[in-house]
């Protein structure tokens, strides 16, 4: 009987321990900093295991998940008066996605999707016209600019170049009505479509931008940061 009671008590204590671990993990307020009495900031900060929150005196609350293990101090919000500027790992500015690690994968994926959207706007015309020159001109002036927007600042790896080339070839096949089962070589496909090479266009855009920066002499920041 005594052994049974000990087992039951151990089981109950175990359940209470699990509940305590779950509660302590989920709770936000592991660390608090009450600044309601501060006439400058007048905010209430509290931090949990997974995120930190800021509650203003007006009642507005904003929370940010940690981007590193246990919220290492590398990621801190910036406070300007009562305004909180959140630190994020990526954001889109003027159509380009900027990432903290300067990774091209998400940026190129966004550009490839934009190329498909641009192609959809001209698909009916380019698939029905028999004029190869007109078809190539529409592709070069519509799809390629969408795909290569911001290419001046890209640092392409071999894998990145392959992804761009594959996307362009897929669009070319769709445009000229050639399927993979037709076993048409890439060289013949390019001669048929007459479109420009996306990878070469990206390289040329980068060289044009480098020459443009090198020729500047008006003291702008673009020249010093590249020297």
Average pLDDT over residues 155-165: 89
> Given this model, what pLDDT does residue 198 score?
93
Burial of 93-112, coded b for 16+ CB within 10 Å and e otherwise, reads: eeeebbeeeeebeebbeebb
pLDDT tens digits for 62-75? 777 665 554 445 54
State whether 150 and 62 are in the same domain. Answer: no
- Residue 22 placed within a domain: no
Higher pLDDT, residue 130 or 226: 130
Two tokens, residue 219: 């003291």
pLDDT for the residue numbered 134: 92
Q: What is the model's pLDDT at position 135?
A: 92
Query: How far is 78 from 171, CA to CA, in rounded Å?
Result: 44
Residue 29 pLDDT class (50, 70, 90 cuts) = low
Q: Residue 11 domain-assigned?
A: no
Question: CA 67 to CA 92: how far, in whole Å?
Answer: 18
Of 38, 53, 88, the one marking the end of a domain is 88
Q: Are 179 and 127 in a shared domain? A: yes
Instruction: Tell which wins on pLDDT, 80 or 41.
Output: 80
- With CA atoms as reference, report the closest residue to 169 among 220, 89, 112, 217: 112
121 plus 154 within the same structural domain = yes
| Average pLDDT over all residues of the chain | 78
* pTM exceeds 0.85 for this model: no
Is 187 found in the same domain as 129? yes
In this structure, the answer to whether residues 105 and 207 fall within a common structural domain is: yes
**How high is the pLDDT of residue 72?**
47
Shared-domain flag, residues 49 and 152: no
129 and 213 housed in the same domain: yes
Exposure b/e, 59-85, CB count within 10 A at least 16 = b: eeeeebebeeeebeeebeeeeeeeebe
> What are 177-216's pLDDT values in tens digits?
888 888 889 899 899 889 999 999 999 998 888 888 778 7
* pLDDT average, residue stretch 89-115: 77
| Banded pLDDT at 142 (limits 50, 70, 90) | very high
4 — pLDDT class (breaks 50, 70, 90): confident
Full domain range(s) for residue 176: 101-226
Residue 147 counted as domain residue: yes
Helix (H, G, I), strand (E, B) or coil at 157: coil
- pLDDT band of residue 109 (cuts 50, 70, 90) is confident
Count of domains forming the chain: 2
Query: Does 6 map to a domain?
Result: no
Per the domain annotation, does 93 fall within a domain? no
Helix (H, G, I), strand (E, B) or coil at 109: helix
Same domain, residue pair 153 and 186: yes
The pLDDT score that the predictor gives to residue 39 is: 47
Confidence of residue 87 (pLDDT cuts 50, 70, 90): confident
């Amino acid at each position: 009987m005594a052994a049974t009671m000990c087992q039951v008590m151990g089981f109950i204590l175990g359940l209470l321990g699990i509940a305590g671990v779950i509660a302590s993990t989920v709770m936000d307020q592991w660390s608090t900093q009450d600044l309601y009495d501060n006439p400058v900031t007048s905010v209430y900060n509290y931090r949990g295991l997974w995120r930190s929150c800021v509650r203003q005196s007006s009642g507005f609350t904003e929370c940010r998940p940690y981007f590193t293990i246990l919220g290492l101090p590398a990621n801190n919000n910036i406070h300007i008066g009562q305004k909180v500027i959140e630190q994020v790992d990526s954001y889109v500015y003027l159509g380009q996605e900027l990432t903290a690690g300067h990774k091209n994968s998400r940026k190129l994926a966004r550009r490839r999707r934009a190329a498909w959207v641009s192609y959809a706007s001209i698909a009916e015309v380019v698939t029905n016209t028999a004029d190869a020159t007109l078809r190539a001109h529409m592709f070069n002036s519509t799809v390629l600019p969408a795909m290569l927007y911001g290419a001046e600042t890209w640092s392409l790896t071999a894998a990145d170049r392959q992804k761009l080339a594959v996307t362009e070839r897929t669009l070319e096949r769709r445009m000229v009505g050639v399927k993979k089962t037709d076993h048409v070589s890439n060289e013949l496909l390019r001669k048929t479509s007459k479109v420009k090479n996306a990878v070469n266009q990206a390289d040329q855009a980068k060289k044009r931008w480098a020459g443009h920066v090198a020729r500047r002499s008006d003291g702008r920041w673009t020249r010093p940061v590249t020297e």
